[in-house]
Structure 1
Amino acid sequence: MEFILDTINLEEIRDGVDHMPIVGITSNPSIVKKTSPKDFFGHMRQVREIIGMSRCLHVQIVATKAEDMIAEAHTIFKEIDDQVYIKVPTSYEGVKAMKALKAEGANVTATAVYTTMQAYMALEAGADYLAPYFNRIANLGGDPVALISNVAKRIEEGHYDCKILAASFHALSQVEEALNAGSQAVTAPYGILKTVFANPNIDKAVNDFNSDWYDVYGQDTSICDLAKEQ
């Protein structure tokens, strides 16, 4: 199970990586617009510096023709690093680009997945990750849970070296649904992942435990304080 942040906001990345078990960062043109860095490549190199090479970095191309997609991927490798996962829309031209990039040994994330058949095409093209758009599929009247479940079963039965990277979430409940349906990874905004801990019952439990502790050892006395007294 992989938790990935869908942001290029440097402060969100620093805080998220510091506090949560984040294994990577995803971006797309709309995510980039929210931060609007003047120096795109310089900014993405900063993202890589924060997350290190042990975490994955997914960067989306904007070209629509396969040859141009491949050229943009090569530019990303040159300007950031060659370990970036190139996010390629799962279009007719996109699948062609995926095949070519995988033949070169590149990392590929198939994005803009709305249907099971799109996912199957990307699987056969060799994509490392498949990114179905959970909330968008639901808004269009589709069933993202069924899609993820069917594709997860196909990956397991066919022994594909690929993971489902569910994306496009409106709420934390959708993230949980995607994971329960068989998605091996999810990418979500910083704010949505933080709501995991926005539960007043957590704070109440901690406060109750601490109150009992302080009743015994004195207000604000920590475990470290007790050790110092010996």
Structure 2
Amino acid sequence: MNELSWSKVDDFFVDTLVDQDEVLLAALAANSEANLPAIDVSPAEGKLLHIYARMMGAKRILEIGTLGGYSTIWLAKALPEDGKVITLEFEPRHAEIAAKNIRHAGLESRVTILVGPALESLPKLASSAPFDLIFIDADKKNNPAYLEWALKYSRQGTVIIGDNVVRSGRVADENNQDENVAGLREFLQRQGQEKRLTATAIQTVGAKGWDGFSVAIVD
């Protein structure tokens, strides 16, 4: 098996199970046209986030890392009319494109984008907490700090999802001290040690190569 085979299986799953509507496809097209980094979640991953949010009846979601808003739209579409996604984005241009995509989706009433370093935005969100679902998908070196904020803004039953935790296997190489790999390793280690969390992580292969995500629930 190789990445070509993985991508073909992903394509089959998407064609069979993931019905992307016009606004989701338009968001991907807009992100590509704007030359944003091609690091959106895959369609299958986006729908998985959507399913998680619906499974738990989420009304308040925190997303750390917006990019062009593709995952944000998947999450917002899972919410009731009075639900809210607060999403944090470092790059103003990315946030501008995301805002356009979200407006095109008709979801602007459910989404608030905060622009700037997430570690500067997070202390301002106390009045919006607790969140039901927290999706961490930003600069990996700061994942341990994002986890601490996620715990502060959680309640019993909050689900915390971390994306891109495998890095093609580099996360398990203790000799690899790249700041993003080291940040992910500490992020996962802290979840394993944190008595308030029940956590696991899953490896994936697909259109995004060899990767994976972590899932934790606050006890």
Q: Same-fold call, TM > 0.5? A: no
| CA radius of gyration, larger in | 1
- Give the structure-2-normalised TM-score: 0.36
* More RCO (CA 8 Å, sep 6+): 2
- Give the structure-1-normalised TM-score: 0.35
